[in-house]
Structure 1
Amino acid sequence: MIVKDNVEHLIGRELTEKETRTIDWLNTWEASTSSTIAHLINAAYINGRLMQKERNKE
């Protein structure tokens, strides 16, 4: 399941109405599918933070 509050925390803002509807729709999928998407969102966030740290070292 994709938790909207968690996504908002990761992106640093509130979700738009369209984004909220999309997450609600994704959460109707099988749990393993929506969990995979949630994992990808989190992995992208972590990767972005790591890339930012690397750029700051330069």
Structure 2
Amino acid sequence: MINKISVEHLIGRALTPKEIQVIEWLNGWEKETNGTVAHLIRAAYLNGRLEKSEKSKE
């Protein structure tokens, strides 16, 4: 299940009504598919943090 509060924390803002609607739709998918999407969201967040950290060292 994709947790809306966790996603808001990762993106640093409140979700829009459309984004909430999509997350609720995704949460209706099979657990494995849903987990893959959740993993991609987190991986994108971590990659963004890494890129930001590397740029600040330049």
Aligned-residue offset at 1:4: 0.3
Q: What pairs with 1:39-50 in structure 2 (closer than 5 Å)?
A: 39-50=39-50
Aligned-residue offset at 1:42: 0.2
* Equivalence for 2:28: 28
Give me the TM-score of the superposition, normalised by structure 2.
0.98
Output one character per residue of 1:1-38: Cα deviation in whole Å (capped at 9) or x when no partner. Answer: 10000000000000000000000000000011011000
Amino-acid identity (%) = 62
Give me the TM-score of the superposition, normalised by structure 1.
0.98
For these two proteins, the number of residue pairs brought into alignment is 58
Extract structure 1 runs of 4+ deviating beyond 3 A.
none
Which AA in structure 2 matches 1:54? E
* Equivalence for 2:6: 6
CA-based RMSD: 0.3
Structure 2: how far apart are the matches of 1:3 and 1:50? Answer: 23
Task: Provide structure 1 residue ranges, at least 5 long, that are not aligned to the other structure.
Answer: none
